Amino acid sequence: MEHIQINNDPEPIRLFKSDLLEFFTHIHPAVIVIIWVPVILAFLWRALTFPTRISPRLRIPVGFFSGMFIWTLAEYTLHRFVFHYRARTPRQERIVFLFHGVHHAQPKCKTRLVMPPVVSIPLATLFYGAFRLILGKALGLSAWVDALFAGFGSGYLTYDLTHYATHHFRMRAPGLRFLKRYHMLHHYKTPNQRFGVSSPLWDIVFGTKPD
């Protein structure tokens, strides 16, 4: 994605003629907390009550933090290769703008800083299906799936709330201040680098973190 001219107009850029479709492009960060915290807790409960001989004291923490770690890679991959896809046709440009370009064009728009449920729910369903298929069916590790997905969902929630905070909170703590500066540099200086929002780990691994 090349540099996009910043639009500082307080009125959000309209994406659709339909008021109904336009409504679904705006979301308050509290909504994702209301939606995903119960989902995460439900999957942790499923993990706790899953009939298996493996102790939950091992299975749940290991599965949960593994899921959070897997999310950091998913975050990087989605941001770099999907949201910053190099469009080759006007139609592709339009799709990329709808997904992410509008955020770069208007980064201060408060209602377009977290992922709308119409996007996050289908994505979560796909990832859960992949975990079930790979861990449950292919590897015979069904007992680990629910804890892993709970961690994955927690990683997503942390990412989205961190993203909102980098744009609208001062973030005085050193680690948080670093994340804010890192993401602002992505927006205003290096839009084709610094794809990590909750962590620069995969930028370092894949060479998209500038010296």
3-state secondary structure 107-143: CCCHHHCCCCHHHHHHHHHHHHHHHHHHHHHHCCCHH
What pLDDT, on a 0 to 100 scale, did the predictor assign at position 99?
Answer: 85
**Quick one: tokens of 109?**
């728009």
- pTM attached to this predicted model: 0.92
pLDDT in tens, the chain (211 residues): 555 677 777 788 999 999 999 998 999 999 999 999 999 999 999 999 998 888 888 999 999 999 999 999 999 999 999 999 999 999 999 999 988 999 999 998 999 999 999 999 999 999 999 999 999 899 989 999 999 999 999 999 999 999 999 999 988 899 999 999 999 999 999 999 999 999 999 999 999 999 8
